[in-house]
Structure 1
Amino acid sequence: MKQIYTTTLRLNLENEADRRAWEHLQSLDRREYRSVSKAVVSAVNAYFDRSKQLADDPYLETREKEDAFLSRIEDTISRSLQSCTPVSLGGILQLMQSAQPAAALVSEETEEDISAALDFADGF
């Protein structure tokens, strides 16, 4: 036997929040919600589930905002890289391959400095 609980929902259309709720209920997508009851059940459950999540984890909302921000940054970088032409990327790769490593330049300068210091010391 089905257990059905019937309740009344009273909305004051002079109250902004109540009026908006009424408008949402009147413009329901009937393919998504078969009835007003289904929409109300979904909304009530979502509201209280979210409230419980936030009570259990006070930093949840902050992490969600950070994740959304990082996602936007990643999307922006991805779009920027996709807009680069292969020619300009090829030029950058050639420059990177033809450049001498910094360590090699430092070691040559160091050897020259040591040689000059020894020549100077031999002069005494």
Structure 2
Amino acid sequence: MSENIRSTNLRFNLDKDVQNRAWQYLQTMDKKKFKSYSQIIAISLVDYFDRYYKKQDEPYLETREREERFVEQIVTAVENAMNRTLPVYLAGCMVGIAQITPQVAVATSEPEDADLDWDFLGE
């Protein structure tokens, strides 16, 4: 055995819900993705303890992650709604613009602001 390999035994009590579920996951895991029990157990332990220690350092980690997921869901929903409705809205605007006839302003001899008292500006 190599110096860099450590061996341990695992025991699952199938009468306990969490251990039974863990055993069932091991029995039904995708063998193409997870090559061995050792690989999936190592990945699971690292993930579990990384999150555990992050929560110790940052107690609101899970709350912030849930908020970020919620915001992402809102952004995605708005993007999807805009993707569905914006083309129709813009097409309607373009049709409306095409139907507007240009208005020509008629110039008068006296500007509209001729009767304003401009003294308030000071000199």
Scaled by the length of structure 2, the TM-score of the pair is 0.68
Runs (4+) of structure 1 moved beyond 3 Å?
89-95
Distance 1:92 1:65, change over 3 A: farther
Q: Counterpart of 2:53?
A: 52
Q: Counterpart of 1:32?
A: 33
Cα deviations by residue, 1:30-83 (Å, 9 ceiling, x for unpaired): 222211111111111111111001111112111111111111111111111111
More helix by percentage: 1
Q: Counterpart of 2:78?
A: 77
What is the DSSP-based 3-state SS (H/G/I as helix, E as strand, rest coil) of the residue aligned with 1:24?
helix
In 2, Cα distance between equivalents of 1:20 and 1:28:
12
In 1, Cα distance between equivalents of 2:8 and 2:93:
69
Q: Counterpart of 1:11?
A: 12
Aligned residue type for 2:29:
L
For these two proteins, the number of residue pairs brought into alignment is 98
- Give RMSD over aligned pairs: 2.4
Q: Identity rate of aligned residues, in percent? A: 35
In 1, Cα distance between equivalents of 2:93 and 2:61:
42
Aligned residue type for 2:68:
D
Where structure 1 has 5 or more consecutive residues not aligned to the other structure, the ranges are 96-124
Deviation at 1:87, TM superposition (A): 4.4
Cα deviations by residue, 1:55-114 (Å, 9 ceiling, x for unpaired): 11112111111111111111111111111153433556869xxxxxxxxxxxxxxxxxxx
Where structure 2 has 5 or more consecutive residues not aligned to the other structure, the ranges are 98-123
Aligned residue type for 1:77:
V
In 1, Cα distance between equivalents of 2:7 and 2:79:
52
